[in-house]
Chains A and B, each alone.
Chain A
Amino acid sequence: MTSIAGTALPSPLRSRQRRVVRRLLHNPGALIGAVILAIMILGAVFAPVLAPFDWDEADVGAHLAPPDDTFYLGTDLHGRDVLSRILYGGRFSLAIGVATVALSLVVGSTIGILIGFIGGKIDEIGARMVDVMLGFPAIIMSILVVAVLGVGVENAVIAVGISGVPRFARVVRAASLSAKQQLYVEAARALGAGNLRIMLRHLLPNLLPTLIVLATLDLGNAIISTATLSFLGLGAQPPTPEWGAMLNSGREYMRYAPWTMIFPGLALFLAVMSVNLLGDRLSQLLDPRTRERG
């Protein structure tokens, strides 16, 4: 029964995935990105093992201490080790970024695939609404959502996630509009597949490359945007070792202790740059318009 639908992800596609990964890592920029990102993820995952101190362990005698043999990247106002906080902070900042993109991706592509596939009046109205949402500068949209929901990490994720929804909805709508005309959809329908089945088993796998590229390109943006909200005091609150929140506290003492501002920012920059390096190359490999053959 599933002989047709079960081949939604046929083996040629799997071997193409492997080829894409190989070609991706062949590119020096993408390789650098992948290595930096891997190190940062490992650092965040193994923070309890790697970090010399706990993230909230305060050494009262050593507040705002410059980098030395004990505190490799110095300490903050409360005498907490900056390196340890950055390592633990990766758990927040990176996870927040991924959660944000996941939210935009799921909500945005659901809306996009629905209005694009159903078409007609629903598509007309839906597409208009997406356009209006796109008309909002993203940061204004996320600040508005925080104004409604209140300050906090979860709300920052929702805020930035929502501001990314129209970007995904628009692309997925366009893609499913054109996919609807394709022969494979017609074939599935002729075999008696229902709308939901066609959307989930046939349309979605075909949109996957587009979604991967979009999500990767959006991840860097999501990490910066959520960190920006935390920096403005609208997202993660102290003492959470989130990088944006650390920068917010570091700002007040940067005159006396620049390391409290330099290193969390460096972590943020490296994470975003490595994601962007990967996203750029990935879009060259997977985007149908520029996809390289071979």
Chain B
Amino acid sequence: MTYVIRRLLGIIPILLATWTLVFAVIEIIPGDPVNLMLAGRPASEEVRQNERHRLGLDRPVVERYGFFLLRAAKGDFGESYWTRQPVAAMIAEQLPSTLALACGGLIVGVVLGTLLGVAAGTRPNSIVDSGTMAVALVGISLPSFWIGMLLIYVFGQMLGWVPIVGSGFPALILPSITVGLFLAGGLARLIRASIIDVMAQDYIRTARAKGLARWVVVYKHALRNAMIPPLTLLGIQFGILIGGAVVTETVFARPGIGAMLVQAVLSKDQPLVQALIVYTTSAYIVINLVVDLLYSAIDPRISLGKSA
């Protein structure tokens, strides 16, 4: 338990460093945010000064840095330059759609990746292996925005099987496949390598010698242990899911924080860009910690207190 607490505390410097990096990058932005807000409308110097003061832009860098850290810690980045609404509320409104997409993509990716990885890893160097790995290679070489468009064209427009737009479950199918396919390619390679390692272990030979069916050995004995190395990378896969959301939401014109980020950058809506980047990177760090803590729960051989 002390280990968990230590890990939780250890996350604070990492978050601070990340937020500092974001602040440092944003500080170098050329251009006056007030000009962006005015969007070409004429305004007197007095109005500009007032606005600058209201946004705290006339303070020294150190003060703004402290202010930024405070905002990041509270998760409050003020209001959007364009809609004048609190950015936190805007993001909260779009988040469920992105979470649904991320879950859908994760399910497609993990199921497909596991099936391909196991099929290849249990028969190394066979035709099945080379075929499956060729599929995985194609998977990671396909630009996901192109896959998205092809899926829309074939299943949405030519065949008309699934709706392309909408908010219900059917409209989630194609976007989830788009996100999942990319994930599956990388995962299949990891699981293959992992399964090959595990299948050479003594306890697998024991299980086989007991006369257990092959699929029982593979799915009940081998897979459980073989999933640990890929699982440790699941946190990193979250980064891929975010990237997938940015692209997929744009392709499918779905609402969500990925498409929102692209629009915020294009419209130079700084508070929104800052909030989205701080939220996603913080979530990424927290998720990686949770995954770290979780895989010890799956494999009792990993003892937390000592391994630290």
**Interface of A with B (CB < 8 Å)?**
29, 128-129, 132-133, 135-140, 143-148, 150-151, 220, 224, 227-228, 231-234, 244, 247, 250-251, 254-255, 258, 261-262, 265, 268-269, 272-273, 276-277, 280
Contact = CB atoms under 8 A, between A and B. Distances in A.
Interface in B259-276: 261-262, 264-266, 268, 273
Contacts of B152: 254
Given A233-B266, A261-B149, A135 B14 contact: yes
Given A265-B150, A276-B140, A277-B137, A247 B145 contact: yes
Given A147-B265, A247-B146, 9 more contacts: A128-B17, A135-B18, A143-B262, A144-B277, A147-B26, A224-B143, A258-B153, A261-B153, A262-B150
A159 to B, nearest CB: 11
18 contacts: A132-B14, A137-B239, A138-B243, A140-B242, A143-B262, A147-B268, A148-B28, A148-B29, A151-B266, A220-B141, A224-B143, A228-B145, A231-B250, A234-B266, A247-B146, A255-B153, A255-B157, A261-B153
B65 interface: no
Interface in B16-66: 17-18, 21-22, 25-26, 28-30
A227 B143 contact: yes
Which 4 A-B pairs rank lowest in CB-CB distance, beginning with the nearest? A137-B239, A265-B146, A139-B243, A273-B141
A140 B146 contact: no
Interface residues of B, number: 47
B247 interface: yes
B138 to A, nearest CB: 7
Contacts of A261: 146, 149-150, 153
Contact of B143 (A137, A150, A228, A234): A228
Contact of A273 (B137, B150, B243, B284): B137
Contacts of B277: 140, 143-144
Chain B interface mostly helix, strand, loop or mixed? Answer: helix
B246 interface: yes
B150 A139 contact: no
Contacts of A232: 246-247, 250, 262
A251 B29 CA distance: 31
A148 B25 CA distance: 7
Contacts, number: 126
B142 interface: yes
Max chain A Cβ within 10 angstroms of own Cβ: one of B29, B239, B247, B288: B239
A149 to B, nearest CB: 8
B37 to A, nearest CB: 16
B225 interface: no
Chain A interface mostly helix, strand, loop or mixed? Answer: helix
Given A128-B17, A140-B242, A254 B153 contact: yes
A143 B265 contact: yes
A151 B31 CA distance: 14
Contacts of A262: 150, 153
B142 A269 contact: yes
A269 B14 CA distance: 37
B190 to A, nearest CB: 14
Max chain A Cβ within 10 angstroms of own Cβ: one of B149, B247, B262: B149
A139 B242 contact: yes
B262 A137 contact: no
Contacts of A145: 25
Contacts of A251: 149, 251
Nearest to B266: A233
A161 to B, nearest CB: 14
A280 B238 CA distance: 24
B285 interface: yes
A276 B292 CA distance: 30
Contacts of B144: 228
